Structures are given as structure tokens and as C-alpha cells.
Structure 1
Amino acid sequence: MSRFQPDFKSVALLFAICVTGAVPDASAQGSEGLTGLYSNKSGKLAIVEGSNETLVHFSGSFPQGNSEGTCDCAWTVQKKTATAWTLTQADDPEPWTLRVNPKQFVLESGPTPQCCGAGYPGKDTFARSTSKPLGICKVKASKAVFHASDAANTARKAFVVSGDAVEAYVDPLEPDFLAARFQGPQKATAGLLKREDLDCSADSGPTASKAPVAADKLQPFAGTWVELTRQGKGFVVLKPCSAATRSFTVKPATGEVEVQLGQEATTLKVTSVEPGKGAGAWVLGLTSSDGKPEALQWKTADAAKGTVTVTSPDLFSQSHDYVRQEKQSAFPSKQEKGCDEYER
């Protein structure tokens, strides 16, 4: 059996969260809603979307006479519409196309794809229902700089720092460069990181089976935290018209976090608590009921006032400022405008 191994496998993808700085370039790609790992019977499709660029990786096999041919392809999205993406890579003059349909992705190659063995049929389909979450790695270098996907892997200004927890898909080929994604308060950043700068020894799959952390580790975070909304130079506790004010409650006894989203709530297990970068910084590893991991970045803003800032790629991607419930009276309460229409 022969197996084709492309010489550019060093740019296979790993997906990450946690970075300190991010500078978008002119190739802004927009929404980050499709990041994840998709699969079919013969391969995997990985997507990492950032505000600055989108990276795509495909690995798979196909019949090649009496043996098996393989593909190992890593691209940058050059052009993106709602239904089709143009995929390019530095050492292949022929672009691929990823067709984005409501229920599936259709990957189509050029006439002579450089990243696949001879005889590749030219098309692969991946159901969007096969989407799986990514695992978690940790940055072990003092500073890991993002790199571009060009032939020279040019260094960029964005970087992650030691102790940052990252969500990751670790390619089994153990490439030299890994594609990373950071979800910041306003935007996501994508780019390549050096594999040697990350510790991915932990299980990279879903962590639904992991037990919650011990109660004593969660005690400093215990209680209910109420969302603050910035108004002018300060904060208020906003009362929405037809929903509850966002909040979350840390429960050490059960090792859970209950998140009140306004009109619905969700509960996650806390499966790890680790120090973050700087005083008052922590990383809480959360796991949803379906096994999806989420790294919650926690930072004490003002201990006396009982305020914190939190960030995560999903539940807290847009909501960051919170105050302990017993100290919320120090902040003015304000009713959302336009509530009359909800009472009719």
C-alpha cells in the first residue's frame, strides 16, 4: 500500500483560543460561526475562522488502484461568499472551492491538486451535522507569535503567552506549525503558531466524562455574578424588557456553573481551574452536557467592588463585565428603553 505524504504538511491545523494581541489584515473574512472539525468515512475537514482570515485543512484517503492514496491540504480562504469559498495555498497555483450548503460542505479540487496523490476523484462531502468540538492545549512558551500562511511563514504582531489555555485540533502528523484562533471581546484572530510552543499532551477530544473539580478549588469563585453594561464612563445593571438580566452562578458543591442567558439558562461542569497570566487571572475549563469544552478566562477587575471580567469563545464572547450579586447595589439600575411594545 502506498501513501502519499505532501511536503507541506507542516501547516496542518490546530485550533486555539487565548492570545494577547491581534492585528487584522486586509483579508477580513467576517463571521466565525463555522469553526470546527467535520468528518466523513474517509477524511476530516477542519475550519478555523478569524476576523482577519480563515484557514481550512483537509486530510483524507481514496482508492488508488490496489492501494490507497492520501490528501493532506492546508489553505487560506482567498475569497468568501455565503455559498462558496475560494481556497489557496502558497505552493499550489490551482485554487480549490469549498461550497457551503445548509446541511453540508462540498470540497472541490482543481484539475491537478498538488496536495493529493494521483487519482483523487476531485470532490469530498462533509455533513455539517458531524461537527465536533476541539480539545484544549496550553501555551508553554513565554511568548508564542502568530505566523502567516505564506511560504516563509512570516511572523505577525499577534501572540499568545505562557499559561494561556487554547482549544485545539491536533493533527496526527504532528506538524511544525499549527493554525490557531483567538476569540477576543470584539473579534477573532487566526494564524499559525509553532507546535513546539504548545503543550497538547492532554486529551484533545470532548471532555464530557471528566469529573468536576473539587469544591475547595471553586470556593473563591462561588456565588452569583450579575452582568454590568457600560454606560458613558461607568457601568449600570441593565434590566431588559422581556428577559432577565444576564448572570452566572458558580456552585462549588456540585462543581457547576449555571449561566442565565436572559430567556433561557444552561449548566456546565467546571473540569479544571488553573492560574492565568497576571494577578487575579484564572482559566476555568468548562464542559457542556454534550461534551463541548470551553475555556473561560477570568480576571479580577476590582476586588473591593466585587467586579470581574470574563471571556470565552461562546457563552461569554459578547458579555464580559460582572459584579457579585451582593455588591450590585453600588451600581445604578436602568430599565431598557422601548419596553411599552412588549406590554401590548
Structure 2
Amino acid sequence: MSRIQPEFKSLALLFAICVTGAVPDASAQGSEGLTGVYSNKGGTLAIVEGSNETLVHFSGSFPQGSSAGTCDCALVVQKKTVTNWSLHQAGEEDAWTLRVNPKQFVLESGPSPSCCGAGYPGKDSFARSTAKPLSICKVKVSKAGFHASDAANTPRKAFVVSGDAVEAYVDPVEPDFLAARFQGPQKATAGLLKREDLDCAAEGAPTAAKAPVAADKLQPFAGTWVELTRQGKGFVVLKPCSAATRSFTVKPATGEVEVQLGQEATTMKVTSVEAGKGAGAWVLGLTAADGKPEALQWKTADAAKGTVTVNSPDLFSQSHDYVRQEKKSAFPSKQETGCDEFER
């Protein structure tokens, strides 16, 4: 049987509610709540609602010069109304607002949020129709305690025990703590649980995961490919401001593609390779850790120069021209101008 113990005596709890305003009004949640994972072309919004607090995680990318900037924001709801939530990031002064509209969420930040790269436009929207449930994880230790969403991840008194099932947002970057909730008989407890205390291997669809393609099929694509930036009538290898040059590495031995996005990297499994339309054209089926598929359109541009053009709905939607790393010296290298504004 699950054992969720209250964190405060009744008077202390009432005092905490009055001081922080962090405990949501049931009317602000709606009868079914808003817990789930929502997505748009460039990012993800995860909402984890509990009777005690609501946690929100936002991750996404945005154009940053010729590269891509990123956001990775763990937020806590401070105040809720039916249509407007006020949020903040633990240990930071950043103020965020989430507008809850009938068909979409609109997330807005103050100027220069600390959890985003320079130049973040300050606004993202997510259609509510994209909702997916949180992952189901089982507690694998005798007792797993909840932690607060403050800078120190302060331990709380509430806990779950071995075998309990909790809903959790499994962040692809694999943090030490996951935002999770446990639904008890009368209330849901939300907070952070240690990733190592949970078994989330069964997360996602119950169907068997697709296996990566055989190494020999990936061998023609193997190696590291570096982004080229068109300049005038030719291309250069551009070093962006405050970021690495975009690249990706195809690894036949593991059946994976590691994509360097500039300020962070992600790894996708290659689950299919099919011939495309025309000579030198291929379609690589990629699958993310959360099971999200993505088709990578690949075409050889100049075999002698080692250049290719690629395209996909997400990872390569704004970055298309690449050269084999060992042949990039044939192209001039150039530092992006105007970097001083990113350093202020």
C-alpha cells in the first residue's frame, strides 16, 4: 500500500499556503487537470500537477544567429487562476507566465531568462491537442522521498515505497531528479524524485521498441558531418557566437546519430534506411529516446567534396548543408560577427 505522509501539520500548511500562494485552486485546474506533455516544432512543455504544487518544465530551441539557442527551464507555479499562471525558476529571479487558453498554452518569460541562451524571443505556444501522458515509473527502492523544487532540492516528508507507480516527466537530458506525481486516494502529491530510485524502462507505448538498423547499412553515412553556411556564391564553416558549430555523427556500431545543436547535443536511434527519389537520395528513419519519430531526408550534393544536403521536420529544419569533417578544410573558416552583443 502506498504511504504518502503529510509534509506539514495543518496549521503549518495553512501558513505556507498564505505565504507562497503556490497551492492551486481546484477550479484553476479544471475537472481533469492539465498534467501531461505538450509539444511544438521546437520544444516541449511538461506539466506535473499535484494538490500541493505544480511543476512545469520547458525545453526548446530557437534561431541564434546562424546556429540554434536552447532553453531548459524547470519552473514552479507560484499562483494560479483559470487562465493565467505565474511561475519562477528555483534560485533565480526569472518571472514567467503561462496563459491557459481553450486551445493552447502561451508561455512567456521576462527579459533574458537565465535558463535560455542569448536572444530567446520570450514566447512559445503549445497546442493542447498535442497532449501526451507522463511516463509511468515504478519505485525500485524501499522508500523514495520527494524533494522540493528549490535550489538545494530540500528533502520533504512525503514518500512513496517500492512497487508504487508514479507519473513522471522523463527529461531526455537525464537529470538527477524527475518531476513526478503520485495519485493517492484523496489527493495527488507532486515533487521531485531521484531518477535512480525509479524504473522507467516501461515508459511510452507498450509496443516493442524498434531496433537500430544493421551497421553495414549505415556505413556509407558513417562519420562526423559539419555544417556549412552559405556566403555569397559559396560556403564557409562558420563559428557561431557562444555556441559550437553544428554537426552530426553517424555511428554504425551503435545504430545512432548524435546531433550537436550548438549549445547542447541529442542522440537519435536510426531505425530504418530507405532509398529516396533520385541518385544519392536516402531517407533515414530516426527515433528519439521518448519514441518520437523523425524522417531525415539525405541527398549527396557533391561526392568528391564530401558534401550532402539534409532536411527533417525538427532537428534539421533550419540547417541543411554539411561536409565530411575530414574534408571541411576545403572550405574557409569564419567567425560570426557581432558576438559582442551575446557577451553583454
Q: Normalising by structure 1, what TM-score?
A: 0.53
The residue type paired with residue 5 of structure 2 is: G
Partner of 1:20: 4
Partner of 1:62: 62
C-alpha deviation, 1:113, in angstroms = 0.5
C-alpha deviation, 1:206, in angstroms = 3.0
The residue type paired with residue 30 of structure 1 is: D
Partner of 1:152: 152
Paired with 1:164 and 1:19, the residues of 2 have a C-alpha distance of: 9
Paired with 1:19 and 1:199, the residues of 2 have a C-alpha distance of: 18
C-alpha deviation, 1:184, in angstroms = 1.4
User: Is the CA contact (8 Å cut-off) linking 2:23 and 2:79 kept in structure 1?
Assistant: no
Q: 1:199-232, CA deviations, whole angstroms, 9 ceiling, x for partnerless residues?
A: 1122x2133x47xxxxxxxxxxxxxxxxxxxxxx
Partner of 1:206: 205
Aligned positions of 1:49-198 closer than 5 A: 49-198=49-198
SS at match of 2:94: strand
Specify every segment of 5 or more residues in structure 1 that has no aligned partner in the other structure, as ranges. Answer: 1-17, 211-344
C-alpha deviation, 1:94, in angstroms = 2.3
SS at match of 2:129: helix
C-alpha deviation, 1:164, in angstroms = 1.3
User: Is the CA contact (8 Å cut-off) linking 1:109 and 1:122 kept in structure 2?
Assistant: yes
Paired with 1:187 and 1:198, the residues of 2 have a C-alpha distance of: 21
Q: 1:257-291, CA deviations, whole angstroms, 9 ceiling, x for partnerless residues?
A: xxxxxxxxxxxxxxxxxxxxxxxxxxxxxxxxxxx
Partner of 1:30: 25
C-alpha deviation, 1:22, in angstroms = 4.1
User: Is the CA contact (8 Å cut-off) linking 1:23 and 1:157 kept in structure 2?
Assistant: yes
Q: Normalising by structure 2, what TM-score?
A: 0.53
Paired with 1:66 and 1:206, the residues of 2 have a C-alpha distance of: 36
SS at match of 1:93: coil
Paired with 2:3 and 2:75, the residues of 1 have a C-alpha distance of: 22
Partner of 2:226: none
C-alpha deviation, 1:179, in angstroms = 1.2
Identity, in percent, stands at 76
SS at match of 2:125: strand
How many matched pairs? 191
Query: CA RMSD of the aligned region, Å?
Result: 1.6
Specify every segment of 5 or more residues in structure 2 that has no aligned partner in the other structure, as ranges. Answer: 209-344
Paired with 2:150 and 2:169, the residues of 1 have a C-alpha distance of: 21
C-alpha deviation, 1:153, in angstroms = 1.0
User: Is the CA contact (8 Å cut-off) linking 1:90 and 1:149 kept in structure 2?
Assistant: yes
Paired with 2:3 and 2:134, the residues of 1 have a C-alpha distance of: 17
User: Is the CA contact (8 Å cut-off) linking 1:30 and 1:50 kept in structure 2?
Assistant: no
Partner of 2:254: none
The residue type paired with residue 25 of structure 2 is: G
Partner of 1:3: none
C-alpha deviation, 1:169, in angstroms = 2.6
Paired with 1:20 and 1:53, the residues of 2 have a C-alpha distance of: 15
Paired with 2:175 and 2:3, the residues of 1 have a C-alpha distance of: 20
Paired with 2:98 and 2:46, the residues of 1 have a C-alpha distance of: 12
C-alpha deviation, 1:186, in angstroms = 1.4
Q: Which has the higher contact order (CA 8 A, sep 6+)?
A: 1
SS at match of 1:37: strand
Paired with 2:119 and 2:166, the residues of 1 have a C-alpha distance of: 37
